[in-house]
Structure 1
């Protein structure tokens, strides 16, 4: 059953409390370490089409953005009619790696334990990511954590970060109010999306942007380990 449909049915049946609390996680750099596959596919796609190969550090900084926007940043001189070519080449290479079982996207330490704890505590959980819907579904299923999430928002079906569209849709799916919604992510794009949506935001240190960038972009707090998230949420709602 689709996440939106399931959320709507539960909400209509009264299974969501009027004061539902929602946590929306970024995926790449927050739930899973996907840097290797993204960097490899982006560098190879650019080289295959005759473009200058972007540096690894620059690619890491664009993780979380819609793919076409990331390409524009990484290849500032690229022509508009060339963007789709790089995008299609990236997707082809990614699919090839996946078909060969070469996609290595391990969960960060403490992810599943914390998701389980939050769900038991009554939090509604969601994901908002620059991945496509098919890729996100595959990633969550492969890591056996798809069962924790009630709403999934992806860049191919929404406006990408830092636009608030995905976060606003997650709130509509679940009936959660802005003041009871928290975005958790590793980049300034996640923090800005939360700020643009009017929600709270918690940054994480193990991803792609610095602590300073997270705070400057609107993070209310920053955690160093996944296991610190429940306490950070508790402290956030005490304020």
Structure 2
């Protein structure tokens, strides 16, 4: 592991619900998966409420009494449905950025911040998103559901810290769900919630978000102010 460097600063972004609005694809894939196993689909709000978790954990939240075989079937059908939807519609390539998201990435990169990603997406989905939008060059590292335990386990953030040598007090997770916030806090990192995603402000605050921003224009100043108190 690299020795922490107090001069380094790291922002770790979530993806779905934070950078891109992929909710229509997520809900459609979940509806198809439930139909394949003969179960009624969860309400839209329920599906969006588990975004950020890895698929097995998400299915167990949606159906707490599901058998392992049912969970495995739902995970399989969700993955297959998402791939098919991606083929039909372009998937993440056509999912809109939230207003100001790309500009914020470019500003922070130019300002000397190291940028990483920690997402519940599979590696295949993240790679598709990064390449479709020409974003890969901005990120020094990416963590997915294939690389570490599901959020809110701190593994993805710890991996980002280890890869960059950044002190956790100078690393900030930016995400839209309580799982993002709890993951960051468990790793000893700072946490900023975004108000435009899939979890309500109250859930973000309860999970330990230090600040909740209403738009990307407020992010730069918020990050600098947080490091002044590190």
TM-score range, shorter chain: over 0.9
Q: Give the alignment partner of residue 156 of structure 1, picking from 123, 146, 156.
A: 146
Which aligned segments of 4 or more residues in structure 1 are displaced greater than 2 angstroms?
16-19
CA distance in 1, matches of 2:97, 2:131: 12
CA distance in 2, matches of 1:163, 1:216: 17
CA distance in 2, matches of 1:17, 1:161: 26
- Give TM-score scaled by structure 2 length: 0.94
Q: Is the 8 A contact 1:153 1:166 kept in 2?
A: yes
Question: CA offset at residue 32 of structure 1?
Answer: 0.5
Q: Counterparts in 2 of 1:22-37, with a 5 A limit? A: 22-37=10-25
Q: Counterparts in 2 of 1:1-239, with a 5 A limit? A: 19-103=7-91, 104-239=94-229
Q: Is the 8 A contact 2:6 2:170 kept in 1?
A: no
Question: CA offset at residue 238 of structure 1?
Answer: 2.1
Question: CA offset at residue 161 of structure 1?
Answer: 0.4
Larger CA deviation: 97-106 vs 169-178: 97-106
Structure 1: gaps spanning 5 or more residues:
1-7
**Equivalent residues, number:** 227
CA distance in 2, matches of 1:33, 1:180: 28
CA distance in 1, matches of 2:55, 2:134: 25
Q: Is the 8 A contact 2:37 2:70 kept in 1?
A: no
Question: CA offset at residue 132 of structure 1?
Answer: 0.7
| 3-state SS in 2 of match to 1:100 | helix
Q: Deviations over 1:200-226 (max 9, x none)?
A: 100000001111111110101010001
Question: CA offset at residue 147 of structure 1?
Answer: 1.4
CA distance in 1, matches of 2:41, 2:104: 38
Q: Is the 8 A contact 1:126 1:170 kept in 2?
A: yes
